[in-house]
């Protein structure tokens, strides 16, 4: 690719064409995979089966059913109050990363354990590695600063033979480091992924959740988080601009150990600051890939020194 910056954008409002979650949930299928989900399923005023997405227990059980049905994950659980992510959007990131890797592979998506992916902030849920390992056979290293999250992710991995030899979870011992201490001196990754903490404070994260609960039709916008999330998962000082800026800065120290560095960017207004950091880092090329789930628009920024 000769362009310094290729912006792949068209403000989409639908999920990736390979994303199996781009249609309405088929609750009959999901209930066959996970009968326990029936506690949370009801018929709404439009005559459609659904769950209360403002109920964290219901969201967690829905995730368990989705992972069983689509990804053959027999065991999946997370500790109380940890992030329980909506899986359709997580799957979208993985499928767009597959497209990114295909661009340098004669248009063919590389599959199997020859592809090595680093997930920065794997979380207690381990969802990105589960999807990538299951859908494409990729090998993953997942890192996190939270030992409880790493233990939870490891429990998921070892409890599912289909992924047990494809995912390794590593504890980041130093809060101020992202790649350092995780990537070994002789290690090379095809791509790194990251869903950074995008709020700048706990108060901002809580306010954002209250808006989300109202939008989901929750009767009360409680201070609790319907999708959960520990502080390190939801916010950091300076928000996502600060975190991604640190990631870009640190990537300059390992330019040959990762073909593509990538991160989600939730707020479009943060892109100019991120582009400025990329130019300052003298990256060889960078891309912006728009992705969407309904009314929620986000994007991936990817950069490379190779």
Condensed to tens digits (0 to 9), the pLDDT of residues 263-306 reads: 999 989 999 999 999 999 999 999 999 997 666 788 999 999 99
234 compared with 34, residue with greater pLDDT:
34
Average predicted confidence (pLDDT) for the chain: 87
Give the torsion through C-alpha atoms of 243, 245, 247, 251, to 10 deg.
180
Condensed to tens digits (0 to 9), the pLDDT of residues 122-154 reads: 999 999 999 999 999 999 999 999 999 999 999
Condensed to tens digits (0 to 9), the pLDDT of residues 11-48 reads: 345 899 999 999 999 999 999 999 999 999 999 999 99
The residue whose two tokens read 């027999």 is: 74
Model confidence band, residue 236 (pLDDT cutoffs 50, 70, 90): low
For the packed helices 239-251 and 271-280, what is the interaxial angle rounded to 10 degrees? Answer: 20
pLDDT of residue 201: 45
Give the total residue count for the chain: 306
Check whether 76 has a pLDDT greater than 90.
Answer: yes
> Burial of 297 by CB count in 10 Å (0-12 exposed, 13-18 middle, 19+ buried)?
middle
129/87 Cα distance (integer angstroms): 12
Tokens representing residue 70 in the block: 């689509």
Condensed to tens digits (0 to 9), the pLDDT of residues 175-197 reads: 999 999 999 999 999 999 999 98
Strand segments, DSSP code E, in the chain are 5-8, 42-43, 49-50, 116-120, 139-144, 167-171, 189-194, 258-265, 285-293, 296-304
Angle at the Cα of 163 from the Cα atoms of 158 and 164, rounded to 5 degrees: 35
Check whether 254 has a pLDDT greater than 60.
Answer: yes
pLDDT of residue 239: 80
202/191 Cα distance (integer angstroms): 30
The residue whose two tokens read 């049905």 is: 69
Check whether 108 has a pLDDT greater than 90.
Answer: yes
Ranges 4-18, 98-112, 217-231, 232-246: which has the least confidence: 217-231
Helix (H, G, I), strand (E, B) or coil at 297: strand
| Average pLDDT of the segment spanning 98-112 | 97
Q: Domain 5-20+78-304: give its CATH superfamily.
A: Vaccinia Virus protein VP39 (3.40.50.150)
Residue ranges of domains in the chain: 5-20+78-304
pLDDT of residue 226: 45
| Average pLDDT of the segment spanning 148-171 | 98
55/53 Cα distance (integer angstroms): 5
């Amino acid at each position: 690719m000769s362009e310094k910056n290729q912006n792949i954008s068209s403000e989409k409002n639908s999920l990736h064409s390979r994303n199996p979650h781009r249609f309405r949930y088929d609750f009959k299928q999901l209930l066959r995979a996970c009968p326990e989900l029936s506690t949370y399923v009801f018929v709404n005023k439009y005559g459609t089966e659904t769950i209360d997405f403002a109920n964290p227990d219901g969201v967690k059980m829905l995730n368990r059913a989705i992972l069983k049905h689509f990804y053959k994950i027999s065991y999946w659980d997370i500790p109380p109050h940890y992030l329980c992510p909506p899986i359709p959007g997580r799957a979208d990131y993985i499928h767009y990363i597959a497209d990114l890797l295909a661009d340098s592979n004669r248009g063919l998506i590389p599959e199997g354990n020859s592809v090595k992916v680093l997930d920065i902030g794997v979380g207690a849920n381990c969802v990105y590695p589960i999807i990538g390992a299951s859908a494409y056979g990729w090998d993953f290293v997942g890192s996190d600063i939270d030992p409880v999250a790493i233990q939870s992710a490891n429990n998921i991995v070892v409890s599912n033979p289909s992924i047990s030899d494809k995912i390794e979870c590593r504890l980041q011992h130093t809060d101020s480091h992202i790649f350092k201490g995780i990537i070994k001196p002789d290690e090379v990754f095809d791509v790194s992924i990251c869903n950074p903490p995008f709020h700048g404070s706990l108060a901002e994260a809580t306010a954002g959740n209250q808006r989300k609960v109202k939008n989901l039709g929750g009767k009360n916008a409680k201070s609790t988080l319907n999708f959960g999330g520990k502080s390190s998962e939801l916010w950091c000082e300076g928000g996502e601009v600060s975190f991604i800026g640190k990631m870009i800065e640190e990537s300059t120290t390992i330019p040959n150990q990762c073909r593509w560095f990538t991160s989600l960017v939730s707020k479009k207004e943060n892109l100019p600051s991120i582009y400025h950091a990329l130019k300052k880092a003298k990256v060889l090329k960078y891309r912006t890939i728009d992705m969407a789930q309904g009314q929620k628009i986000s994007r991936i920024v990817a950069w490379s020194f190779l």
